[in-house]
Amino acid sequence: MGIAIRNISKHFGAFRALDDVSIDIPSGELVALLGPSGCGKTTLLRIIAGLEHADAGSILLDGEDASSQHVRERNVGFVFQHYALFRHMTVFENVAFGLRVKPRKERPSSAEIRKRVYRLLELVQLDWLADRYPSQLSGGQRQRIALARALAVEPRVLLLDEPFGALDAKVRKELRRWLRRLHDEIHVTSVFVTHDQEEALEVADRVVLLNKGQVEQIGSPDEIYDHPNSPFVAGFLGSVNLFHGRVEDGHLHVGEHALPVGEGQGALDEAVGYVRPHEFDLLPATADSGIPAKIERVISVGPVAQIELTREDGELIEVEVYRDALDELGLREGDRVSLRPRAIRVFRKEPLAA
């Protein structure tokens, strides 16, 4: 049950929420729609569900045009950030709701409903809560019930809008592993919206990065992390250090220093190099390559030490190294070092850098 999103555009007044967005989501995949707030990801999800209507474009569910179908008819499961459980119903009745409102001809018998609801409650490991009311559950439990409720109608696709957004950090981490395992079990095509790149990279088969209503990049988590195709993507997926300069003869020239970027890179007059904090080697200040910097602060909690350094021109650089390596080098705050990036991603400097 794949989803095809074809040239979807949506305006809210003068604000362009989505601009000619096309995405193909193959059957059985778990896809993350990732982007900063206001990028249109939730709007896109609501359009897929039929809760919102696009100004232009179409949504194909399993090859069939669903654009004119009402949310009732689309048979999609939708999970809301704030659960949206029915407060006056027990957990059992919440999950059973989708089955009970079916037209009489299609409605399963009440024994069948009971069986199916319990099977789903077991799937989300909450069958022991069947008689409770939503107000008696924790946030994580509520969201699992919301998921069971959405799955009860055997939806063609499962859509989740920031499903873990309202939960605290620990529960969120647990639940996203659990969602991944659940998806491996039931294989329903799923799309979830998140603004948390870690969540997207950890859970999804593929990540769609949206920015200002447009698709920036689509790819597997590795692909988009290791090979971002725009400065936005590079900047959005974790912290980066920026080096402004010009590219010539396979080197990025930053001030008087040159950093090798590989022969494949063509010459650029105005370029920006992106280096992630863990992609630096720390060398003694006397080394003849790399960029000189001074250690300002070392935060060494856990296995990885975070080091804040300043360049000669005063710009801040963040570096992460294993603490063992740091101890071996015997570096402390105030020391001078030379930073050599192991990998640099170079982009043309944009006229209006965001």
Partner 1 sequence: MASIRRFSALPGFRLAMGYTLVYLALVVLIPLASVATNTVSLGWESFWRVVADPRVVASYQLSFGASLLAAAINTVFGLIFAWVLVRYTFPGKRLIDALIDLPFALPTAVAGIALATIYSKNGLVGSLFQPYGIDLAYNPNGVLLALVFIGLPFVVRTVQPVLADLEKEVEEAAAGLGASRWQTFVRIILPHLTPALLTGFALAFARAVGEYGSVIFIAGNVPMVSEITPLMIITKLEQYDYAGATAVASVMLIISFVLLLIINALQGWAQTRHGKGG
Specify the DSSP class assigned to residue 55. S
Of the pair 140, 277, the CB lying nearest partner 1 is at: 140
Distance between terminal CA atoms of the chain? 38
Specify the DSSP class assigned to residue 225. H
Residues 20 and 1: their CA atoms lie apart, in Å, by 23
Q: Determine the distance from the C-alpha atom of residue 293 to the mean position of all C-alpha atoms in its chain, rounded to a whole number.
A: 33
Of the pair 85, 218, the CB lying nearest partner 1 is at: 85
Of the pair 126, 272, the CB lying nearest partner 1 is at: 126
For residue 125 the two structure tokens come to 């490991």
String of contacts with partner 1 for each residue 118-147, x by CB under 8 A: ---------------xxxx---------x-
Beta bridge partners of 56: 9
Residues 242 and 245: their CA atoms lie apart, in Å, by 10
Q: Is 149 in the site for partner 1 (CB under 8 A)?
A: yes
Are residues 252 and 258 in contact, defined by beta-carbon separation less than 8 angstroms? Answer: yes
Q: By CB under 8 A, which span of 37-45, 66-74, 311-319, 331-339 interacts with partner 1?
A: 66-74
- Identify residues 77-106 at the interface with partner 1 (CB under 8 A): 77-78, 80, 82, 84-88, 97-98, 101-102
CB of 59 to partner 1, least distance (A): 15
Nearest to 10 by CA among 62, 49, 46: 46
CB of 142 to partner 1, least distance (A): 12
User: Three-state DSSP class for 186?
Assistant: helix
Of the pair 88, 342, the CB lying nearest partner 1 is at: 88
CB of 89 to partner 1, least distance (A): 8
Of the pair 148, 261, the CB lying nearest partner 1 is at: 148
For residue 354 the two structure tokens come to 């965001």
String of contacts with partner 1 for each residue 151-180, x by CB under 8 A: -xx---------------------------
- Identify residues 233-292 at the interface with partner 1 (CB under 8 A): none
Of the pair 98, 245, the CB lying nearest partner 1 is at: 98
For residue 78 the two structure tokens come to 């939708």
Of the pair 103, 302, the CB lying nearest partner 1 is at: 103
Residue from 9, 75, 306, 310 binding partner 1 (CB under 8 A): 75
Residues 92 and 239: their CA atoms lie apart, in Å, by 44
Residue from 59, 76, 148, 309 binding partner 1 (CB under 8 A): 76
User: Three-state DSSP class for 76?
Assistant: strand
Nearest to 12 by CA among 41, 45, 50, 55: 55
CB of 80 to partner 1, least distance (A): 5
Q: Determine the distance from the C-alpha atom of residue 211 to the mean position of all C-alpha atoms in its chain, rounded to a whole number.
A: 12
DSSP string, 292-328: EEEEEEEE--SSEEEEEEEETTS-EEEEEEEHHHHHH
Of the pair 88, 227, the CB lying nearest partner 1 is at: 88
CB of 56 to partner 1, least distance (A): 23
Which residues of this protein are in contact with partner 1, per CB under 8 A? Answer: 49, 51, 70-72, 75-78, 80, 82, 84-88, 97-98, 101-102, 133-136, 146, 149-150, 152-153
